[in-house]
Amino acid sequence: MAMGEHPDAAVVRRACTAFQQGDLDTLSTLVTADVVQHVPGDNMLAGHHKGRDACMQLWRTEYEETGGTLRVDIDSVMPDGRGHVISGHRCRAERGNRTMDMKTGLFFTIVGGKISDIDQCVEDIDAADAFWGK
């Protein structure tokens, strides 16, 4: 944790680091049981993933479908001090003969020191749809 980092930002940073390392066990402890992740677009991952188990399956699928090539590097973590954090990332992956390299952003809601909601935004929805397919 950076010196003086807000506790909400620290939770998000820990979660992003765990995801980056493929440490889904740690990640599962940083989200609420009823966590929801909203994935944009019209592709195999798009939609509202409700509950810890559904989110865990989403994250496993992202790794499985990319053969472990998925890299999500944190650029910034910005809390509002009122239970919300925005993180900026560079997302890179390979899937079959497709590659992805784009900026992404996550908007987190923090409740009781855990992540309860994740809204995902991507730099290019059409490119994300083409990468993930149906």
Domains and CATH numbers, the chain: 7-132 (3.10.450.50)
Give me the pLDDT at residue 4, please. Answer: 81
Contacts of 5 (CB under 8 A, 6+ apart): 13, 77
Angle at 121 between CA 93 and CA 100, to 5 degrees: 20
From the list 93, 90, 94, 95, the residue with the least C-alpha distance to 106 is 90
Give me the pLDDT at residue 2, please. Answer: 52
16 close to 77: Cβ distance less than 8 angstroms:
yes
pTM of the model: 0.94
37 close to 124: Cβ distance less than 8 angstroms:
no
Q: Is the pLDDT of residue 127 over 90?
A: yes
Mean pLDDT of 82-88: 98
Write down the residue that tokens 């497709």 correspond to.
98
Percentage of the chain lying above the pLDDT 90 cut: 95
Contacts of 75 (CB under 8 A, 6+ apart): 87, 88, 89, 90, 103
